[in-house]
Structure 1
Amino acid sequence: MKKIGFLSFGHWSPSVHSQTRSAADTLLQSIELAVAAEELGADGAYFRVHHFARQLASPFPLLAAVGARTSRIEIGTAVIDMRYENPMYMAEDAGAADLIAGGRLQLGISRGSPEQVIDGWRYFGYAPPEGESDADMGRHHAEALLEVLKGEGFAKPNPRPMFPNPPGLLRLEPHSEGLRERIWWGASSNATAIWAAKRGMNLQSSTLKDDETGEPFHVQQAAQIRAYREAWQQAGHTRVPRVSVSRSIFALVSEQDRIYFGRSGQEADSIGFIDERTRAVFGRSYAAEPDALIEQLRADEAIAEADTLLLTVPNQLGVAYNAHVIEAILKHVAPALGWR
């Protein structure tokens, strides 16, 4: 069995060819797609966070709304850029969204990727300490979040408070029990995957990673997952960690599918740079008739290693078509691969 969810970047554009022409369209359709995905039997509704872009940016109102409209499906992010985040305020928002959803929040975070503006986190009031990088800052913010999510008191109470306090040091409220174990780290390198394992976070591995060996993307990603699990075991954690990978996968079962994706031209990995120094390998997309698609996916080593698969969806094509994309995988592909 493999959990299967969708991942939406939440793009919107005023173009007449887009079904999401405004931020409101994207937010409302994201909620409707999560409802539809739950009805189809999918396991997760995940959203990417990008600042200064015509995409989803503030995740917690959306996650709370999805949580209120659904009852079973996991809701999450993949990922929130921690360079922009106040860990204390984030812990309160996450706790509230998780309580509304009944403990279904799966919160993916990371040090972030290149953004739309230069050093965008500075506009949010953050800057790394002298001698450290913005990546270091993102990891420090993540560690602070993990600490407060434990639910332990740390703040000295006012001796003359407005409202009575429980005894001892105070924690942030609302606290959602168990959320600490549902934090995921989006790792692009083997080293950061190991770092996440040591700190007891689940692993999210995307459609790109640092090109560390020159091997095909899925081979490098599978090796990253194995290194993560080994580090997890060595750290002595008692629970079983979760690992997700993201893929663009389209089963061509209708003429509309063939028009959109029949000639995707992305049948091989590609190489690029995610910043001035880091060479990255970008994984291929999959688009084929179900029988051919099944054989292609069987050869993907990283999908085999992961327990969760996130299907990246073309959200600008609208709720109905994206629900069809998800249903086609669940119905025509997943059973043959033993995922259902």
Structure 2
Amino acid sequence: MKKIGFLSFGHWTPSPQSQTRSAADVLLQSIDLAVEAERLGADGAYFRVHHFARQLSSPFPLLAAVGARTRTIEIGTGVIDMRYENPHYMAEDSSAADLISGGRLQLGISRGSPEQVIEGWRHFGYNPAPGEDDAAMGRRHTEEYLDLLNGQGFAKPAPRPMFPNPPGLLRLEPFSDGLRERIWWGSASNATAVWAANQGMNLQSSTLKFDETGEPLHIQQAAQIRAFRAAWAEAGHTRVPRVSVSRSIFALMNDMDRAYFGHSKQETDQIGFIDASTRAVFGRGYAAEPEVLIEQLRKDEAIAEADTLLLTVPNQLGVAYNVHVIEAILTTVAPALGWR
């Protein structure tokens, strides 16, 4: 059995070919898609976060709105770039969104990905400390955020406060008990997967990973997941961690599916460079008739290792088409593979 959700990058563009031509379109359609995915029986609605781009950027208003419109589906991100975040303000925002949803947030965070602008986090007022690079700054912000989610008081009360305080040092409010255990780290390497395990975070492994062995992505990811679980056990955490992978998967059910995805050129992994020195492997997409697709997915070792699968959806094709895409996987592919 696997939890199956969708992951939307939230693209929008003022083009007649797009069903999301404005930021308002993509935000409102994201809420509608989450509602429909819940109706279908999907387990999660996840959203990508990018700054300085025509995509979803500020996640917490969207997560809160989805939480208010749904009742059972998990609501998450994949991922929030922690280089841009104020840990204190984020602790308040994420706790509020989690309380609105009734404790359904599954928050994916990370040190970020290639950006639209040069050192965009500087425009948000953040600079690495002496001896830090931006990745270390993102991990520092993460550690501060996780500590705040523990709910311990740390701020000395004013001697004459406007409102009565509970005794002792004060914590941030609102506080959502349990959110700390529902934080995920988006990892692109084996080392950061081990770090995430040591921090007690769940693991998100995407369709991109640093190319550490030259093997296909799914094999490298499977090894990464095993390294994460071994580090988790060694760290002595008592709960069972969760692991997700994301994939582009399309069952070709009709002529429209075949027109959109039947001639995909992403049937093999791609090699690229995230920056001048970091070689990465980008995962293949899957698009085939259901019986072929099922046999292809049986061979994906990372999907087999993970407990959660996130289906990347073409959000610019509109809510109705994406409902069709998700439903085809849930009703045709997932049962044949024992995921449902």
Structure 1 length as normaliser, TM-score? 1.00
Residue identity opposite 1:319 in structure 2? V
CA distance in 1, matches of 2:246, 2:278: 20
Deviation at 1:159, TM superposition (A): 1.3
In structure 1, C-alpha distance between the alignment counterparts of 2:123 and 2:173, rounded to whole Å? 27
In structure 2, what residue type is equivalent to 1:200? Answer: G
Q: Residue 315 of structure 1 corresponds to which residue in structure 2? A: 315
Question: What is the distance in 1 between the residues matched to 2:48 and 2:276?
Answer: 23
- Paired residue secondary structure (1:334): helix
**Displacement after TM superposition at 1:254 (Å):** 1.1
Q: Which residue does the alignment assign to 2:215?
A: 215
- Answer yes or no: is 1:337 the counterpart of 2:328: no
Q: What is the alpha-carbon root mean square deviation over aligned residues?
A: 0.4
Residue 131 of structure 1: how far off its partner (Å): 1.6
Structure 2 unpaired stretches of 5+: none
Secondary structure class of the residue paired with 2:79: strand
Q: Distance in 1 between matches of 2:131 and 2:185?
A: 24
Instruction: State the Cα deviation string for residues 43-68 of structure 1 (Å, max 9, x = none).
Output: 00000000000000000000000000
Q: Number of aligned pairs? A: 340
Match of 1:111 in 2: 111
Is 1:4 the counterpart of 2:11? The answer is no
List aligned pairs for 1:103-142, cutoff 5 A: 103-142=103-142
Distance 1:89 1:131 in 2: 25
1:82 equivalenced with 2:82 (yes/no): yes
Counterpart residue type for residue 13 of structure 1: T
Q: Using the alignment, how far apart are the partners of 2:155 and 2:307 within structure 1?
A: 38
Q: What residue number does 2:147 align with?
A: 147
Amino acid at match of 1:144: E
**Where do 4+ consecutive residues of structure 1 move more than 6 Å?**
none
3-state SS of paired residue (1:229):
helix
User: What is the rounded CA distance, in whole Å, between the counterparts of 1:159 and 1:145 in structure 2?
Assistant: 27
- Asked if 1:21 corresponds to 2:18, the answer is no
Corresponding letter in the other structure for 2:153: G
Deviations 1:239-268 (A, max 9, x none): 000000000000001111000000111100
Question: 1-side partners of 2:3 and 2:72: how far apart?
Answer: 13
Which residue of 1 is the match for residue 298 of structure 2?
298
Aligned to 1:102: 102
C-alpha displacement at 1:276, in angstroms? 1.4
Query: Any idea what the Cα deviations from partners look like across 1:170-202, whole Å, max 9, x if unmatched?
Result: 000000000000000000000000000000000
Structure 2 partner of 1:200: 200
2:241 is matched with 241
Deviations 1:78-108 (CA, angstroms, capped at 9, x unpaired): 0000000000000000000000000000000
Paired-residue identity, %: 81
Equivalent position amino acid for 2:17 in 1: H
Q: Does 1:262 align with 2:270?
A: no
